[in-house]
């Protein structure tokens, strides 16, 4: 994942090179973190020579809901936001895996920490991205000393940029202590999520994940994993998870737009499941990989091919 200054982005109602997408240093979102954003993937399939957007309608719907929570209004409706992602892909002529960052932000030049009577704008850029986390091996994790922000402090149901200071503190703490990723507890002391991923646990054949009331983001990949598990006949339970359950779990994994499906081999220097990827994790990961390029018949409606002329029946 790297900065490509000539790649085409969408900013201030225009498609332009990323290097020309600039904001004033007084911009409200820069001063106060008043931005909501999404992360969306496009997966390249060499056999069909096409890029498939993964659940784009769901992603922009969540972005719109985040904006509504934060008293923001995008100048583009949801179908037009999806069209921007499609057009960015075409203009950059991508034949690779792509990450898209759509966002709505307070663009006024005002020094006042408020949401009302402050103008908004929409923008989107993209980056070439394969794996955000190294999914070829298990993740070494630690339970963070930082607690996950509470829903009534900064709404975790909305992807608010200012709230990611919480994630940055936990991520840096983990990496600087020799781990790959952090695991948050919520304000009550129950497991919440990773710094930028949802978390799943397997115990006795049951797939378990914290409920949305545990200060977790309502992840699109999270929902997809739950739906795939049910299609596979795997029991799914959304409930609180105690910290020590992580130590004795049969399997653990992260999931998210960036992380995709990344298995966890260690928590707080305790090896999980013998340090090997679990059978259920591998099953869900493999099916997810087929789903994102439209090769899973039961979930083909999740993807949107970018280049319609290359679509075959």
Active-site residue list:
159
Centre a 10 Å sphere on the Cβ of residue 258 and count the other Cβ atoms it contains.
Answer: 18
- Phi (first) and psi of residue 95, to 5 degrees: -130, 65
| Pair 139, 254: CB distance under 8 Å | yes
Residue position matching structure tokens 């991205």: 129
Nearest partner of 279 among 209, 229, 218, 213, judged by Cα: 229
Phi, psi of 120 (to 5 degrees): -125, 160
Residue in the structure block whose two tokens are 């979930």: 299
Neighbours of 109 (CB within 10 A): 13
| H or E stretch at 223 | helix 220-231
Q: Are the C-beta atoms of 79 and 24 separated by less than 8 Å?
A: no
Of 151, 121, 148, residue with least CA distance to 35: 121
CA–CA separation, 166 vs 145, rounded Å? Answer: 11
Name residue, tokens 């290359």: 310
Which residues make Cβ contacts (< 8 Å) with residue 170, sequence separation at least 6? Answer: 144, 146, 182, 184, 195
């Amino acid at each position: 994942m790297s900065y490509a200054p000539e790649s085409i982005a969408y900013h201030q109602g225009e498609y332009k090179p990323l290097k020309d997408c600039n904001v004033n240093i007084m911009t409200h979102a820069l001063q106060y973190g008043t931005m909501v954003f999404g992360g969306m993937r496009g997966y390249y399939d060499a056999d069909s020579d096409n890029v498939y957007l993964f659940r784009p309608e769901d992603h922009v719907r969540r972005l719109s809901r985040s904006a509504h929570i934060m008293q923001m209004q995008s100048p583009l409706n949801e179908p037009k936001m999806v069209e921007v992602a499609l057009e960015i892909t075409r203009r950059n002529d991508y034949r690779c895996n792509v990450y898209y960052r759509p966002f709505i932000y307070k663009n006024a030049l005002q020094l006042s920490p408020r949401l009302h009577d402050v103008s908004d704008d929409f923008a989107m850029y993209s980056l070439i991205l394969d794996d955000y986390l190294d999914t070829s091996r298990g993740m070494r994790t630690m339970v963070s000393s930082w607690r996950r922000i509470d829903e009534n402090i900064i709404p975790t149901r909305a992807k608010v940029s200012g709230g990611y200071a919480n994630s940055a503190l936990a991520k840096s703490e983990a990496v600087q202590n020799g781990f790959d990723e952090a695991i948050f507890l919520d304000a009550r002391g129950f497991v919440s999520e990773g710094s930028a991923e949802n978390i799943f646990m397997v115990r006795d054949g049951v797939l378990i994940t914290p409920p949305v009331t545990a200060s977790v983001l309502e992840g699109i990949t999270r929902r997809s994993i739950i739906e795939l598990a049910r299609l596979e006949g795997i029991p799914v339970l959304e409930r609180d998870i105690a910290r020590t359950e992580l130590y004795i779990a049969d399997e653990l994994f992260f999931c998210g737009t960036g992380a995709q499906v990344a298995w966890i081999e260690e928590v707080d220097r305790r090896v999980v499941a013998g340090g090997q990827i679990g059978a259920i994790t591998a099953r869900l990961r493999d099916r997810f990989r087929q789903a994102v390029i439209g090769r899973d018949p039961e979930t083909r409606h999740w993807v949107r091919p970018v280049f319609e002329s290359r679509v075959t029946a």
